Structures are given as C-alpha cells and as structure tokens.
A and B are shown apart, each in its own frame.
Chain A
Amino acid sequence: MAAAVGDEAGGVLRGWVRDFLAGHREGGTAEVAAGVKAGSWTVLEIVEALGSCLQSPEPLTRGRGLQLLSQVLLQCHSLLQEEEVTHLVLFYENRLKDHHLLIPSVLQGLRALSMCEVLAPGLAVSVLKAIFQEVHVQSLPQPERHTVYSIITTFMHTREEELKGLGADFTFGFIQVMDGEKDPRNLLVAFQIVRDLILRDYVLGPFVEELFEVTSCYFPIDFTPPPNDPHGIQRDDLIVGLRAVLASTPHFAEFLLPLLIEKMDSELQSAKLDSLQTLSACCTIYGQKELQEFLPSLWSSLRREVFQTASEKVEAEALTTLHSLAACLSRSLLNSDTEDLLDSFLSGILQDCRHHLCEPDMKLVWPSARLLQAAAGASFRATQRITSSVLPLLLEQYNQHAQSSQRRTILEMLLGFLEIQQKWGPQDEEESALLRSRAPLSSVVFSALTDRSVQLQLVGIRALTVLGTLPGLLAPPDVELVVDHLTRLILDADDSQSCMAAMEAAGSLAPLYPGVFSGRMVRRLAEELQSEREEEGQPSLRARCRQALAAVSTHPSIVRETVPVLLQCVQQGQKGSVPADACDVVATCQSLQRVAVQCQGDAESCWYYHQTVVPRLLAAALQATMQEKACPPLGKLLLEEDTLTAMVPVIRAASTHLSPELAAQSVSQVVSLFLDGEVSFLPQDSFSCPFRPFQAGPCAASQRRLVALLMAFVCSLPRDVAIPQQDRLLRELLALSCSCECPFSATAAAKCFAGLVNKHPAGQQLDELLQTVVNRMEAALAAGPCRSQALTLLLWVTRALVIRYHPLSSRLTDQLLGLLGDTELGPSVADGFSLLMADSPDVLHRGCHADVRIMFRQRFFTDNMPKLVQAFHAASPDVQANYLKGLSHVLNYLPRPVLVPELPTLLSLLLEALSCPDCVVQLSTLTCLQPLLLEASPVLSLHVDTLVTKFLGLTASPAMAVRIAALRCIHALASLPTPVLLPYKPRVIRALAKPLDDRKRLVRKEAVVARGEWFLLGSPGR
C-alpha cells in the first residue's frame, strides 16, 4: 500500500502540512482531507508528516498539529480501519493529559472517533473513563462542553450495552460532567441524556438523588432568551426538556414532590404553573406508593390556588392537576391489605368542599364545585364517590333556597355533576348514587322548567337533556312528563330563548324516546298547526310549531310523521284556502331543509325524504303554474321568487347524499318531467295543461320558473351519476338562458347549465359544447335585447370553468375584464366578480359535488390581478370605479396570507378605492384594509396621513355599514407604532366626537371602542 503512494504525493502532503503548521493556509485541512478521501495518502501518513510537531515541546505547535489531525478525522472518520481507530483512540486518550490548550482539539478528535462504526469493543468505555477522569468539563468553554455531550450521546446510541457494563460509574461520571452547566444549548442536550439514562434503564445505583439534584436545580426554569438570539432557544424548550426528565421516573418522586409543593407556594405565577404542569405530567407514571405521603400537602396547595385564585390560568391548571391526581389514584391497583388512597383522598376533598355548598351566602360554592367536579371526572369510581355525597346535598339546598338566581346556581352545579356521569356511558351498577336520587332529581328539574325565571328554565332544560341521555334515570311516566314540559315550553314560553332551548333538547332526546315524542309532541304540534288555521292565530305560534317539528325530526320514525305535516303547510299556501304569505312558505321550507340535513346521515331516511318531498314539491309548484291560466304567473305564491328560492335548498339537501343507484332512478324521472312532460311519478298526475317548460306554450312563462327546482336537483347529484339526455338538456338550458325575458328563469337556467358543465368530463364533447356556448354568448353580448342575460350566463360559465382550472377559463375571464369598460354592462360585471370568487349557496360548491380546486382563488388572483391593475390605469375615469369594484371583490375573498405580500403593489389602488363614491367599493376596501392594519404592516405606516384623512371622512358616510367599517379601521390603525400615530391623536379624538352621537347604536359602539383606544395611545397604563 505504501508503494501506491508515490513520493510525489508524499511531497504534496508534506507541503500542505507545512503550510498549515506555519499558519499560511487556514483552508489546508480541506485539501488534506480530500487527499484521504481520494486515496492519495492515509491518515497514518498524515500522522507521520506531522511527526515532529506532535512531539514538539511547545504546546502551541503541538496544538496546531492536533488541530489539523482532528479536523481531518472529523471529515474522514468513516474511512478509518479498525486498527487505525484503536491506535488513534489510545493516542488521543493519552493527549487528554496534555496541556489545557490542546484539550479542544483532543475532544474534537475523540468526537470524530466516537462516530466510527469500526470502533473496537471496549474503546467507548475507555474513552469515557478517560474523559471523566482527566477532564474537568465545567471549566471548559461552551463549545467544548457541547463536544463532550455529543460524544456521550453518540456512544449512548451506538454502544448502549458496553456503557451499561460500566454500571453506576457511567451515571456518576455524567453527573460530574453536567454539574454546574449553565448554557441553555448544552442544557437541552444534557436533559436529553438524563432522560435517556432513565428511560433506557441505565444503572442509576446509589446516584438517584445526585442525578435528581443535578437536574432539579434548574427548576423552575428562569430564562429569557437574549434579544437577537441566533440559537432560537425559547424558555418553553427548556421547560419541556426539564419536565421530561423530572417526570420520567417514579424514583424521583420522594425528592420531586416536596420541591413541587414548595414551588406551588411561590409568589411567581410562572413557577406555580410550571409546578402544576410538572405534577400533572408525573401523575401519568406515578402510583399510590409515590403519592401517598404527600397527598395532604398537595391537596392543600391545590385547594388554595382555586379558593384564593389570582389568575384564571393558575386556577385552570390546578383543576387539571387535581383531575390527574385523582385519575392516578384511581388507576393504581388495590392490594387487599392496603387502604384505598382514592377513597381517603376524595373524603378529604369532600370534607373541605362540601360545607361550602351549604353556606347561606354561597360565597365559595363555585370554587368548591369546580374542585369536586375536577376530582369526580377522574374515573367512574371517583364520580360515584363524589356524586353520592354531593348530589343529595345539592338537591336539599335547591329546595331550601327560594330565589331563582340561587336555585340556578345550584342547578348549574348539579348539571356539572350530571355531565360527568354522562362521560362514563351506560353502567350496569344497580345502586348508583344517581339512581337512588332519581325521584328528587327529576322533581327539581321539573320545578326549574316551570319557574318564571328564564335563566333557571334554560339551565333546567340543559339538565333535562343530560338526564334524558343517562340510562334508567327517567321512568316511563317521567319521560311523558318531560315531553309534555318541552311541548309546553315550545308552545307557550314567553321567551324565545327558552323555546329554542326546548326545541334543541327535544332534538337530542327524540332518538332515545321516539315513540313518546311522536305520540305526544308531534301530534300536539300538528294539531296546533291545524287548529290555528281556522282561528288565524298569531303567526309566531305556527312558526314555532314548524321549527319544532323540524328540530324533533332526529329519528327515522319521527321523520315519517313530521315531513307530511310540513309538506301540508307548503301545499296550503298553494291552495289559497288560507291567506298565507310568502314568509310562511319560506319558513316552512327552512324547516324542511333542516329535516333533510338531519336525515343525511341515515340512508333509509334520506331516501324516504327524497322520495316524498321532491315529487310533492314539484307537483305543488307545477299545480300552481296551471291554475287560472288567465291570471299573471307572478300572482301565485308558490311561483314567487322568494318561495322558489327557498325550495331550492330543500331539494338540494334531499339530493346531495343519495346513493348513486337511487339517484339514477330519480334523475331519469325528473329529467323526463322537464324535457318530455312525463308527470306519472308525481303524486297527482292529472294536470290541466301539459308541462313543457322549454317550449313556447300557454303556461310556458310560469313553467320556466320551475327550472330553478331542476337546477336544485340535477346540480346536487354526485359526479358519478349519469344524467339521461344530458346533451338535449344542455341545449335547452342554453337556449333558455340566452333568450328568456324573465331574469329569474334565465339565471336559473344559466346556473343549471354551469353546474352541469362543471361536472362534465373533459374531452372533445365538452370542448365542442363550450365552443357553441362561446359563440352564442359573444353574439348575444355584442348587441341585442338579451345582453344582460348573456352576461349572467358568461359569469356562471366562467365560474364553472375557473374552479375546475379549465384552460378556456382564462379566455372567458379576459372577456369579462374587457366588459368592465362597457358603459352599460360594466357595473354588473364588477358585481359579478363577487360571484366568481364567493361560494354560491345553490350550485358550484363542494357541498353539491362540484369539481372545485382548492387554490382557485389564489390562481385567479395571480393570473388576473396584473391585467386588472393595468386595465384600471388605461380606463377612462367614468368606468374606473368598475375596475375598483371588481378588484375589491377579488381581494375580499382572498386568503390573508396571499394578500399580504401583494399589498405594496396594491396599496395605491386601495387608497384610490377609498375615494371612490361607490359604497360597495368603500365597504369592501375598508374590510380588506382592516386586518392588514391589525397586522401593522410597516408599509402602511408610510401612508398614515392619507389613511387617517380618508377613514375620518368615511365616518360621515350615509351608509351605516361604511361608517362602522371606517371606525373599525380607525381602531385597527391604533396597532401601528405609536410614534407614527401620536401627531394625529388630537385630530382623531376630536373627529371621533361626532360619531359618538351617531343616530345608529351600532355605529356609536364602534366609535366608543375606537376613541377609547386612541385616548390610550402614548398614555401611561396602556
């Protein structure tokens, strides 16, 4: 091998070495190391070349030589042979005894060697022993101490068995290494090593206490990172690191628990919090044995933190810790001969807290209740123990107090305990504390329900809900009573809050007792709806009945009873027997929609609902188009825009969750109804006039309005449901949308068309279809009576394509940008930009299975913003507002993180938009600027003068929403750096005096907040 290295290479190496030693070349190590890697020379030859210098009497020279060798080793340690490593290790170990100037290089060398895979067995131990023996680590500078920790960490990962052979000596050696460490970077590593020592079962021997001392001396961590700290170590990193050590073994318990108790008594909030959190962490590994001795003092500290709370954070943490403690005690296995610590611990808590629940002044009731609930929530056993003692007491207290407010407090506490009980699910324990108090409990809850105080009623309703979900707590007659109470509250409660709460409660309890609810509540509500019709009673009662019917429809059997009743209400409107108004029908549709949403989870109910509701709604609307051909279609309730719009979500909710097979069955019926007038699937199939919405005919104008319902159905189906006769349907929709005079029908057709296009699979067929559309739209947009219809179609089709990233979308968007300059259509185009960006409730969103890419808004923004800005500058002043409006719509829907980096380029445009007289532009610009102001971007500081002037000007806007938004911006402005704002303070405060006297309360409210904040600017105590 020596022959391979020619004399020439040897000469080169000696040259490099000489230069390095003379200090000529700092980078020389790289070349020397490269030579080793390239095989030009070996490490042995380097040592030989260093020869005399390593033996020099001058420590500086020796150090320089060692430095070169160690640097090379760090780069080439993987190439070393086992024999070489052995020699080098012995050499370096020996060097540890050398002059202190050499130690840094020696440690570097050892670190390099520690990473060698070929390190012979036994050497790791010998290296560590040498370090422990020869080096006083804590007198070294930080980087060298870090090197020692690195060597130890490496060996612990690679030579675990050998190190364990050292026994407790290793632990002791490390304790000495770490003792007195101060640098946070090193501490993080050291904590990790201690944690590994413990978790990987190294022998701690007699050194447990020493190991605890050497780490616990840092508790609680008190460290503030220096400003501009490049290492980025936070206080929390150290806290978590240390906590992982302290809470890693039960062996520390006897030392740690007294320390934690001491620190909990500290004045410092951070120390309290850290102690409590550490204790919680310990509870996951401790058992009874560790805790036993300290339980009384732990309890008294925790109790103090809750009873004399100084901060909500500490209180919450103390409660969590109490919970963990009780959970820990509940977990520990019971020996037959030991006392059950959980029981005695809980007895102590009960003894200290119970009597507070009975104090007449009720001063400490809440802290006591929270403590009891925290402990009770720990386990089933704890719940039983505490509820059995507290429940009878609270029930007694409830009856002793007569005032509603006090009763409410007691019932709220009771509710807390019931909710804990709920956590454990059904228990077969016959003699549970709850069951024993069943009768008084329900009588207390019922009395709350009949109390005059609304607040007490509300708590009563919540308690009732929990009670109902706990198995076995309500006897059958009680359930009937519950349902009657709820029905009474729904129908008679003066306060809408109680009424709403009762409906929600009915909704949660109905699936548990469907028979009782349908027999009593549903029947009663249905009767009420019937009887009220004759008397023409107050409309709010009927509204309540409908809402309640929807709320209670949470079980399949109930759905089957409520849906016909609600449908009946819709049809009443059409028959005209009652002077019903559109609001009534709209409200009924909202109730129907709620039922549909509640059915979506259950396939069977979903199908029942779809099968029942969709044909009946279609039939009812269809019937309306036929009545009295002579009278104008708009006169009919069910054909009014509001009513049809309200039916759309009902049909959508009934269709989105259908299984593909059932959907296919239904879609063929509905499509043939609209295309061929096939009415056979409707509940009533004799109509006075054929249904031909897409053809000219006597009732066509009113029939076309039903396209909205077609849209609601076909656009909500899953994407894999094939639509029969799709091409024909698309052609008809296209023709209707471009030519219909009625804007409602035309828009519905355009939306329906766009919804189908969005789901249409890509390919030639789609391209041809789109080509037809584009031609048709361009022709209609150019001139003629239907320009605005064509624009609506263009907007919807553009949205359909933008959200699925279709290549044609950019062409359509360009066309829209061009139309912004159109004097006639420009304003509508500008408004249309909100349609492109917002989620429409009816079509083209994920809920109705549309093809929507997640980033489409960002993409639209980056693609079109430059064009929009450019077009704005090129446009004539009278249409510039259109561009600003379009811009503000786009910005409004853009995620904040995307917008912020673009702000500098857009800011001038936004400031311009503030002067635009259009309220919509002002409003959207203000809402866009407000969050940016709150983030206090530095670029905004440059424009304070303009911003202050414009905002103050807008506080006098005629539109309330603009005034509110402007005041919010002025408030947000206060987050900019105070020195920038101070010159404006007197002016802003003076100017804000006026909106304080605004005629609208909501404006005054914002003015108060903004002015208050500006008063605090630069003032002490902010």
Chain B
Amino acid sequence: MVGAPGGGSPLENANPLIYRRSGERPVTAREEDDELPDSIDDREIFDLIRSINDPEHPLTLEELNVVEQVRVKVNDAESTVVVEFTPTIPHCSMATLIGLSIKVKLIRSLPERFKVDVHITPGTHASEHAVNKQLADKERVAAALENSHLLEVVNQCLSARS
C-alpha cells in the first residue's frame, strides 16, 4: 500500500510550514460535575487525532495543519464521525498512511457504535479518489494492519511523543 518512510531517501517536503499547537482543552466546571453527561463533540475528536505524529517529520498532524478542528464533524446521537485531512503537498505519498493512522486511532479510541469516515479534503491531493477508496474499504484496512511492517509504522505514528 505504501512504502517505508525515511530509509535514507530525502524528505518529500523537507521544510514544511509549522502551525501552532492548540493547548490542552481547559477543563470546565461542568466537566467536573459527576452528574451532568458530556456529549462527544468536535473538539474531543480533534484532540484524539491532533497529536498523531507525522510519518516523516518530528511533528504532529496538527502542527503541519494536516488536521484541523473545522474539518472534524461528529454527531453523537447518530454515532457518526467524519474527518477530512489535508496532505501538506498534493503529491504526498504518505497520504494513505496518514489516513490509515487517523482511522486506526479513531477505531481504537471511539465506542464501537460509531461509524468512522476518514477522507482527504476535496481538491488537495492528486490521487484523492484512490486514497479515499482505500480508506473506506474495511477489508483493505484490516488487511493493511495484518502487515506487521505497516502496523509498526502506524503504531509509531500513534505512540506518545517522548
């Protein structure tokens, strides 16, 4: 599905534009109240994916502006999540891998009732359609995660930054 990053080859986008990280979500009094339920909102989903590491930079997807809170839509009642992500350059070969990392992170972190849709922001990638198709295909995602090399790269993206 995708090649290994690094491996001595030069970075595709060696000098990306870096964005500021949004801080930790401030904890409100409501959230600390045991009685009141909090629904799952856009910011909560964004917090799940913003700290995913980029496969080739020591930066997070948020810092590279690959994911933005405005491109995250969640409907708690209907149990749907839609995430659009924007590759840093239109020919980025890492796009599938990034999409896969986002998808895996959401599957691991959301209740099973959610239907997760991850796709590229329309018009931002050369092979947008092909990548979206791969990401939407459950079997192909499952097969990709059987590949231990690919799983390793995905896990590295999802590991907490040291």
Contacts and interface: CB of A to CB of B under 8 A. Distances in A.
A1012 B112 contact: no
Contact of B153 (A999, A1002, A1015, A1021): A1021
A1002 B18 contact: no
Contacts of A999: 37-38
A311 B149 CA distance: 25
Interface in B117-162: 148-149, 151-156, 158-160
A999 B35 CA distance: 9
B37 A996 contact: no
A1004 B31 contact: no
Interface in B1-57: 14-15, 17-18, 27, 31-32, 34, 37-38, 40, 44, 47-48
Nearest to B8: A267
A1004 B108 contact: no
Nearest to B149: A1020
Contact of B148 (A362, A1004, A1020, A1022): A1020
Contacts of A1020: 148-149, 151-152, 155
A1020 B158 CA distance: 12
Given A1008-B109, A1021-B156, A1001 B151 contact: no
A284 to B, nearest CB: 31
Contact of A1012 (B17, B34, B108, B153): B108
A308 B40 CA distance: 39
A312 B44 CA distance: 28
Contacts of A912: none
Contact of B31 (A366, A1000, A1008): A1000
A308 B58 CA distance: 12
Which of the listed residues B40, B113, B155 has the most CB atoms from chain A within 10 Å of its own CB?
Answer: B155
A1001 B31 contact: yes
B109 A308 contact: no
A363 interface: yes
A586 B142 CA distance: 58
A361 B31 CA distance: 40
Nearest to A993: B112
B38 A1001 contact: yes
Given A1004-B40, A1008-B48, A1021-B159, A996 B111 contact: yes
Contacts of A1011: 108-109
B110 interface: yes
Contact of B18 (A366, A1004, A1015, A1016): A366
A1019 interface: yes
Contacts of A363: 15, 17
Nearest to B158: A1012
Contact of A959 (B34, B44, B148): B34
A960 B15 CA distance: 45
B155 A960 contact: no
Contacts of A1: none
A1020 B152 CA distance: 5
Nearest to A455: B20
A310 interface: yes
A997 interface: yes
Contacts of A993: 111-112
Interface string A983-1022: 0000000000100110111101100100111011001111
A1012 B154 CA distance: 12
A310 B57 CA distance: 8
A1012 B48 CA distance: 11
A178 to B, nearest CB: 38
Contacts of B48: 1008
Contacts of B156: 1021
A308 B108 contact: no
A1011 B48 CA distance: 12
Contacts of A1008: 48, 108-109
A1022 B15 contact: no
Residue among B18, B105, B108, B154 with max Cβ neighbours from chain A (10 Å) = B108
A380 to B, nearest CB: 32
Contacts of B110: 996
Contacts of B18: 366
Contacts of B113: 997
Nearest to A1008: B109
Contacts of A311: 58
B21 to A, nearest CB: 13
Contacts of B14: 308
Contacts of A312: 58
A665 B48 CA distance: 61
Contacts of B160: 1013
Interface in A287-319: 307-308, 310-312
B155 A1021 contact: yes
A679 B22 CA distance: 57
A1001 B108 contact: no
B154 A1021 contact: yes
Given A312-B58, A363-B17, A1002 B32 contact: yes
Interface string A357-384: 0000111101000000000000000000
B44 A1004 contact: yes
Interface string A734-748: 000000000000000
Given A310-B58, A312-B58, A1011-B109, A1019 B15 contact: no
B50 to A, nearest CB: 13
Contacts of B149: 1020
Contacts of A1019: 151-152, 155
B156 to A, nearest CB: 4
B31 A1002 contact: yes
A1002 B155 CA distance: 24
A407 to B, nearest CB: 14
Contacts of B111: 993, 996-997
B34 A1002 contact: no
B152 A1021 contact: yes
Nearest to B57: A310
Nearest to A409: B20
B135 to A, nearest CB: 19
B108 to A, nearest CB: 5
A78 to B, nearest CB: 55
A1000 B40 CA distance: 9
Nearest to B148: A1020
A960 B58 CA distance: 35
B109 A1000 contact: no
Contacts of B37: 999-1000
Contacts of B112: 993
B45 to A, nearest CB: 11
A996 B111 CA distance: 5
A1013 B105 CA distance: 11
A366 B14 CA distance: 16
A364 B148 CA distance: 38
A312 B59 CA distance: 10
A828 to B, nearest CB: 24
Nearest to B17: A363
A1020 B153 CA distance: 8
26 contacts: A310-B58, A362-B17, A363-B15, A364-B15, A959-B34, A993-B111, A999-B37, A1000-B31, A1000-B34, A1000-B38, A1001-B38, A1001-B44, A1002-B32, A1011-B108, A1012-B158, A1015-B155, A1015-B158, A1016-B158, A1020-B152, A1020-B155, A1021-B151, A1021-B152, A1021-B153, A1021-B156, A1021-B159, A1022-B155
